[in-house]
Structure 1
Amino acid sequence: MSGKDTNTTNNNNKGKGKSTDSDKNVALSAARFEQELANAPADVQEKLRALLQQMALSAGDSSGSSSAGKAPKSMDEHKFWKTQPVVKHDEVVEDEGAIEQDIPHDQIRATPYPLPKEFEWSLIDVQDEKEVKELYELLTHNYVEDDDAMFRFDYSAEFLKWALLPPGWKKSWHIGVRVASNKKLVAFISGIPQDIRVHNSVKRMVEINFLCVHKKLRSKRLAPVMIKEVTRRTHLEGIFQAVYTAGVVLPKPMATCRYFHRSLNPKKLVETGFSHLGKGMTMARLIKMYKLNSATSTPGLRAMEDKDVPEVAVLMNKYMSTMELAPIFQEEDVRHWLISRPGVVWGYVVEDPESHKITDFFSFYALPSTVINNSLHSTLNAAYCFYYAVQTPDEELEKITDAEKKNKARKEAIRERLCRLMNDALILAVQNNFDVFNALNLLDNDLFTENLSFGPGDGYLHFYLYNWRCRDVNSDKVGLVML
């Protein structure tokens, strides 16, 4: 149920975002619009952002969403979701909190939900090479593919271990479905634990991800049973809220973000069909337009090390305090998610040359896609913007009492620094042979996408909470990055 976008999707859970050279002008105008919107009165901002979110929903993926201007499905059409504790499409949230109360342990169903007789439940041991290979093959051939069947995500075994084995992971939440007769793995769903802050409430939640059903079994209605089963198992562990993302519109998004793409290898992107030459654009001009310096420019920039974990944890949680949907990271979380792992994730810090304090950090991860039926290229190497934090002028900001003015001053204070850091991230991505750098317009990404020549994709990613009612969150106040 998590989502991301290298221009790829299936109809279950991802946004799609092909980009063209002409998209750059759209990115510029969108960024300028955000700047103007920030100057508007609070009540006007709220109304306009609500309208923008509805427009984003109207542009979403056609499966379950409002494509081509059609309204989202009614609750009666959501046969499964109308039975679940989620916010309804037309519901106006006034009081935040749990939709259903926690269930006493002795009242939680003790046995797994029944599957169709030809299938059986199976726990997947991600630490076992044979089983992680089975999971890799299931996801590679059935998980995420674009509508035009041009790209398909290619999760590596090491990526899956990183994604599914964070601190506090539970094997009982790595749930597979096998064919009873031959034990073939044909479906999967997973959860990982995470402390999440929603506005002012902090809850231990489960992040639901990698919901995948074999293409030939999509009519078997396995997904609803799998969602109910992972819910049952998380309830047994005393967790009653979940967060998930999808490229389709379900009841009801609490936030919607758009994908942006920065070309690193424009010739290859055009040759694979990921992007296209705009009218009057030549390949030589396109390559020149996206060319980056060969070396980074930030003094003190280096790969993150284990000794940096305590400072990075403090820096990250402080930076995230301005977000309205954000993870709370302990040191063990920082150590797992942000220190570089070959071929999986890259983490960098900025160490002040004089004080030797860590002032900033950034990270990105790798998620390549198989290029289907292309005679020139078999793989598209995509980097995804992950977590980051930059130094902020706290003493100056504390003098500002108006929340809107403080937020605007904060953004202006970090804009130049963040642009320089992310430009270095692009250079490092090129050095590691990536073809494109992808980012959602969450966190403070809108501060650098215009200046660094990102173009908007046509994919949107919707954020959802299970059993938690909350006010809508603007994209630039989303601090949660799900794989």
Structure 2
Amino acid sequence: MADESKPVKGKGKEKEKEKEKAAKKLQKAVEGLSDEQVTQLLDLNPALATELASSSDGGADSAVDALKRLNLLDIMTGLAASGKNVKDMGAYKFWATQPVPKFGEEGDPNKPIEEGPIKLQTVDEIAKEPAPLLDGFEWSTLDLTDDGELKEVWELLNGHYVEDDEAMFRFNYSTSILKWAMMPPGWKKEWHRGVRASQSRKLVAFIAAIPVELRIRDKILHASEVNFLCIHKKLRSKRLAPVLIKEITRLCNLEGVFQAIYTGGIVLPKPISTCRYYHRAINWQKLYDVGFSPLPANSKPQFQIRKYALPDRPSLRGLREMQKKDVASVQDLLTRYLAKYDMAAEFDKHEVEHWLLHNKKNALEEQVVWTYVVEDEHKKITDFFSFYCLESSVINHPKHSNVRAAYLFYYATEIGLTTPVDKDALKSRINALVADSLVFCKQYKFDVCNALSLMDNGLFLEEQKFGPGDGQLHYYLFNYRANPIAGGVDKRNQLDIEALSGIGKTQI
């Protein structure tokens, strides 16, 4: 149960054509291919083929049968599973032992399943002690209020956390963003769990969880959000990932928390939704230099720089930085706006303050999140938008050591809350809000702005020159069965502007 999303890169036209070609083959698979043709399809994705075979008793033949049982979305999700990060989450055999939906369990597509927990337990049934580790390793609870232990987590993540498939970029979490992400209101020290080498006491693995009130349609789950699963590269063959997942599950269960949400850039059984990453170049020249953004055919660098140029100042009247006095108004607006989506978190005022408001009184903490509100002539807040900073290290580059990325976070506007919604007016307003957010990204020296195809993002991604990326983010629920939720892209992984997304939960 961990966020295995990875640093994602822009896509050139050649890669886009490859995906189009693969999508056509997938469509044929659903319509009914021969065994030989299905085998060829599996050859396109060795990682998926291996996992299907390993979870079947009959090897390759059963893998073919298993693939035939998958629907188109499952197959396309599986094609995103290739790459070096696939092994880190363990084989499907492990997930077959866990209370998660399985591939091929859809049943009648015209009859929604009954949503609810998969396995019912009580705290009394949960083991009070952790499972034993291999000789030479021991469990450790990390205290992130201790600068030394926080630094240990930072060092592990920055040396061994998720990379892109070509090992060009790696997430570079600052200690400030780690505290922001792992210490929201209600955080629990026990949910910051690590593994140490017994002799050296060196931290070699880590996983974390935070509490979240998660709404799935009309039901609210007292759940956890699991993130930051990281294992030292030299220990990837020790099968520590399933052990860490079982341990964080046990620790959550001991607190009476039996459901969880987690995300990943790889395929696991079984996503409730899949969103696609989109990227908006701000410093195009730097992105090109480090290999993040391609130079399109028949174009020149100066044309791309001109294409992505931004104004020096925002344009919206009444726009200003969020202040503490705005917390209640922003919480009210955000709550009403998130109610539109099938899946979203429920935030109280303390959580809104934590996630959206930078504490300027603490000069030692670098700024992680930026939020801006729009006031009307009556001083009522009618809109807000936010973004946070997450850098990626550029590995072995002679000129640049990092890419400074802004991630679009939460936003809301009263214009999207009319009954019925005026979609044209909403599209115009969201484009104006995001256009100004990009101006601030430029002011704060970001190189790129990243966004997913969730919420109402389909209304502005193309207009604001966000290009589709290589990466997908799959949303998973642990111990909860739910009907699929639209992720903002269609079955061919293209932006679905008409349906948009039912996901109102962003991830860090």
Structure-2-length-normalised TM-score: 0.81
- Counterpart of 1:381 in 2: which secondary structure? strand
Instruction: Verify the 8 A CA contact 1:16 1:457 in the aligned structure 2.
Output: no
- Aligned partner of 1:355 among 371, 378, 381: 378
Shift of 1:55: 5.7
Match for 2:385: what amino acid?
F
Q: Is residue 2:357 matched to residue 1:346?
A: no
SS of 1:392 mapped into structure 2? helix
Q: Residues 1-40 of structure 1: CA distance to partner in whole angstroms, max 9, x if unpaired? A: 554xxxxxxxxx22463214649999xx9xxxxxxxxxxx
Q: Does 1:59 align with 2:79?
A: yes
Per-residue Cα deviation, 1:65-109 (whole angstroms, up to 9, x for no partner): 99xxxxxx9x9x6121000000011112611100011x2222211
SS at match of 1:138: helix
Following superposition, the deviation at residue 297 of structure 1 comes to 0.5
- How much does 1:390 deviate? 1.1
**Correspondence list, 1:197-216, <5 A:** 197-216=215-234
2:102 corresponds, among 88, 91, 104, to 88
Equivalent of residue 406 in structure 2, options 353, 375, 383: 383
Unpaired segments of 5 or more residues in structure 1?
4-12, 30-49, 67-72, 398-408
In 1, the alpha carbon distance for the partners of 2:287 and 2:174 equals: 21
Equivalent AA in structure 2 for residue 348 of structure 1: Y
Checking the alignment, whether the CA contact within 8 Å between 2:10 and 2:467 is kept in structure 1 is yes
**Alignment-derived partner of residue 401 in structure 1:** none
Residue of structure 2 aligned with 1:336, choices 330, 354, 376? 354
Matching of residue 286 in structure 1 with residue 318 in structure 2: no
**How many angstroms does 1:200 deviate by?**
1.2
Q: Relative to 1, partners in 2 of residues 1:448 and 1:109: Cα closer, same or farther, differing over 3 Å? A: same
Match of 2:122 among 82, 94, 104: 104
- Which 5+ residue runs of structure 2 have no aligned equivalent? 21-69, 107-111, 360-365, 488-500
1:19 counterpart = 2:44: no
Tell me, in whole angstroms, the C-alpha distance in 1 between the residues paired with 2:14 and 2:463. 14
Post-superposition Cα deviations, 1:151-171, rounded to whole Å, max 9, x if no partner, equal: 111100011000110000000
Aligned to 1:8: none
Cα deviation digits, residues 391-417 of structure 1 (max 9, x gap) = 1264542xxxxxxxxxxx443331000
The equivalent position to 2:332 in structure 1, one of 314, 319, 330, is 314
CA gap 1:63/1:113 in 2 versus in 1, 3 angstroms:
farther
Residues 192-201 or 90-99, more deviating: 90-99
What's 1:122 paired with?
140
Shift of 1:56: 3.8
Q: Secondary structure of 1:277's partner?
A: coil
Q: Does 1:79 align with 2:93?
A: yes
1:149 aligns with 2:158: no
Match of 1:370 in 2: 393
Distance across 2 between alignment mates of 1:387 and 1:394:
15
CA distance in 1, matches of 2:134, 2:153: 21
Quote the residue 2:490 is aligned against. none
Contact 2:280–2:448 (CA under 8 A) maintained in structure 1 = yes
Q: 1:318-344 deviations in whole A, cap 9, x for unaligned?
A: 000110010001001100000135431
Aligned counterpart for 1:450 among listed residues 458, 462, 472: 462
Q: Distance in 2 between matches of 1:21 and 1:61?
A: 20
Amino acid at match of 2:371: G
Answering whether residue 273 of structure 2 is matched by residue 255 of structure 1, we say yes
Q: Indicate yes or no: 2:425 matched with 1:413.
A: yes
Q: Alpha-carbon deviations, 1:447-470, whole Å to 9, x = none?
A: 100100000001111000000000
Distance in 2, matches of 1:304 and 1:23, equals 42
Q: List structure 1 runs of 4+ shifted beyond 6 angstroms.
A: 23-26
The answer to whether the Cα contact below 8 Å between 2:74 and 2:103 also exists between their aligned partners in 1 is no
User: How far apart are the structure 2 equivalents of 1:322 and 1:117?
Assistant: 51
Q: Alignment RMSD, CA only?
A: 2.2
Aligned residues: 431
Kindly tell me: are residues 228 and 473 of structure 1, through their superposed partners in 2, closer, same or farther at Cα, counting changes over 3 Å? same
Q: Which residue of 2 aligns with 1:226?
A: 244
Go from structure 1 to structure 2 and tell me whether the alpha carbon gap of 1:25 and 1:294 turns closer, same or farther (over 3 Å shift): farther
Q: Give the Å deviation of 1:149.
A: 1.2
The answer (yes or no) to whether the contact 1:16–1:61 under 8 Å persists in 2 is no
Deviation at 1:431, TM superposition (A): 0.3
Per the alignment, do residues 89 and 305 of structure 1 end up closer, same or farther by CA in structure 2, a change over 3 Å counting?
same
The equivalent of 1:182 in structure 2 is 200
Contact 1:24 1:454 in 2 (8 A): no
